[in-house]
Amino acid sequence: MTFSILAFDDETGRIGGAAATGNLCVGGWVLRADSLAGASASQGAYPSTLWGEEALRMMRNGKTATETLGALVSADTGAVHRQLALMDTQGKTAVHTGIENVDAKHAIAEDGLVVSGNMLKSVDVIEAIFSTYKASGIQPFEDRLIKAIEAGQNAGSDFRGLMSAALKIVGRNCAPYDLRIDYHQAPIKALRDLHERAQSPEYHQWLDRVPTEDNPNRPADGE
């Protein structure tokens, strides 16, 4: 009941995801990310938040995206009702789409990028997200992800319309960036508006003082 994108930003080494759905709280249900593990998008007719959490645990412990996906899918008799996209810290991807998810369902995966969705107006939604992200390489990472899901909406979207949208970015050199619109008539537009508010100088000055994996002592070290 969702479309999502996970991507690896070569310029910064960060991993990010964006998602939208015709139901509530897509950020809480679908997107998971950890700078030491990677990212997951767990969705589908009967999505498993357990899959999303366990995927991060396995990848943090050294499993690749492909190994993690295989282990989770093979152990779950409900896998036919679920969809899972994974990206590990090396940017390697894997994706599963259970056959019992509602059409249209589709996924595209390559190194550094995986797009998936179900209950879509058509597979064109996934194609549009993928191609739009690929064509937006000179833009900031956050904007590329939002622009990609905007393209998915314009290409047909979740066939029920949209109710929630989310953006999540992690990296060893940055504070987590986690924006969620949980209930809105135009959630992707609201997500973009929220992102633009978060670009204020005051907010960025604060973010520059928040501890990160690579710099855990800020602001004590003054850098």
User: What are the tens digits of pLDDT across the range 193-208?
Assistant: 999 999 999 988 888 8
Which comes out higher in pLDDT, residue 209 or 64?
64
pLDDT per residue over 100-154, tens digit each? 999 999 999 999 999 999 999 999 999 999 999 999 988 999 999 999 999 999 9
pLDDT per residue over 18-61, tens digit each? 999 999 999 999 999 999 999 999 999 999 999 999 999 999 99
Q: What is the pLDDT of residue 107?
A: 98
| Cα end-to-end span (Å), the chain | 43
pLDDT per residue over 62-99, tens digit each? 999 999 999 999 999 999 999 999 999 999 999 999 99
What's the pTM value of the predicted model, to 2 decimals? 0.96
Confidence check: pLDDT of 10 > 80? yes
**How long, in residues, is the chain?**
223
Strand ranges inside the chain, DSSP E: 2-8, 15-21, 31-34, 38-44, 82-88, 93-97, 106-110, 113-117, 164-171, 174-181
Confidence check: pLDDT of 223 > 90? no
d(CA 204, CA 90): 27
Q: What is the pLDDT of residue 24?
A: 96
Asked whether the beta carbons of 177 and 142 are under 8 A apart, the reply is yes
Sequence-distant (≥ 6) Cβ neighbours of residue 144 within 8 angstroms: 7, 133, 136, 137
Confidence check: pLDDT of 222 > 80? no
Q: What is the pLDDT of residue 49?
A: 96
